[in-house]
Amino acid sequence: MLVSAPVGALELRGHKDRLFAYPGILAVEEGGAFMIVDYDKMRDIHRRDQQPERRVRSRYVSLGVKRHSRLAVHQANGREIEIGLTGEYAAARFAVIFVHGRGGDQRLGMNDYTFGGNFNRLKNLMVANGGAYLAPTIESFDDKGARDIKAVIEAGRAPVVLACASMGSIICAKLARDPAVVSRLAGMVLLGGAPDSGIVSSAAVKARLPIMFTHGSDDSVYDWKSQKAVFDRVRASSPDYPARFVLFNTGSHGTPMRMTDWKQTLEFVLSR
């Protein structure tokens, strides 16, 4: 089974790795668990995008993945959950489920051109490696929203990497407390998420679920130092806990969605 591979054994087939690799590493600390990445708005937005923050330059996207993508609807909890889907969830080796933040819907996670083309890259990585990518629409960031994501997780058979951005991290934190959900997860990725110290005592941390944190140092919505404090407590919960923190120096609230290296992130999570 994919998630049982020994540490360091997994290597995914890449997609435009040179373009999406971290542009520079300023520091690596805590035995490699904490990394500070160089971020430059002029380089990483204005030179990368044809229309800043609206449309990335064409060399960053590969649109052949569109033939593997569609809009799906999942019936659960007495309502329809709209899902942007790439790949075949029922037959996938593993899956990434992306939970958007406030004001978003499935279109945010399926847009090929925004956030520097990073969602297009993620979709291509999943198709190239026999995975599936799902971007459901969340109606609310409460127990109702958590139940909907739980239903989406349970609709497939593959181990799931649950990736939550901004306020969507509230859903990750709620599901981290549910042992039934944790048993289906390969890991979690928190992208500019809301700090929640409760995760330290959650079923996810007790099960040593791999967690990747990525955050901008100039995030004006959620302070990175508060999130780093949560990360520190997670790592301290057991020896060699599989958690990593990538800090984008001078990055803002949306920077993790643009700059997170998904190949490196998934290889870390899925190898544990």
- Give the helix/strand (H/E) hosting 136: strand 132-136
How confident is the model at residue 10, as a pLDDT? 78
How confident is the model at residue 169, as a pLDDT? 98
Tens digits of residue pLDDT in 158-217 = 999 999 999 999 999 999 999 999 999 999 999 999 999 999 999 999 999 999 999 999
User: pLDDT at residue 127 above 70?
Assistant: yes
175, 99 contact by CB (below 8 A) = no
Antiparallel, parallel or unpaired: β 95-99 and 49-51: unpaired
Q: Calculate the average pLDDT of the chain.
A: 95
Q: How far apart are CA 263 and CA 102, in angstroms?
A: 26
Tens digits of residue pLDDT in 42-83 = 999 999 999 999 999 999 999 999 999 999 999 998 989 999
User: pLDDT at residue 3 above 50?
Assistant: no
Q: How confident is the model at residue 240 (pLDDT cuts 50, 70, 90)?
A: very high
How confident is the model at residue 142, as a pLDDT? 96
User: pLDDT at residue 245 above 60?
Assistant: yes
How confident is the model at residue 108, as a pLDDT? 97
Mean per-residue pLDDT, 246-258: 98
Q: Which residues contact 248 (CB under 8 A, 6 or more apart)?
A: 37, 39, 214, 215, 216, 217, 255, 256, 259
Mean per-residue pLDDT, 92-114: 97
Q: Which of 166, 164, 162, 167 is nearest to 140 (CA)?
A: 167
Beta bridge partner(s), residue 248? 37, 216
User: pLDDT at residue 9 above 70?
Assistant: no
Q: In the chain, what percentage of residues exceed pLDDT 70? A: 97
Q: How far apart are CA 122 and CA 163, in angstroms?
A: 12
Mean per-residue pLDDT, 140-153: 97
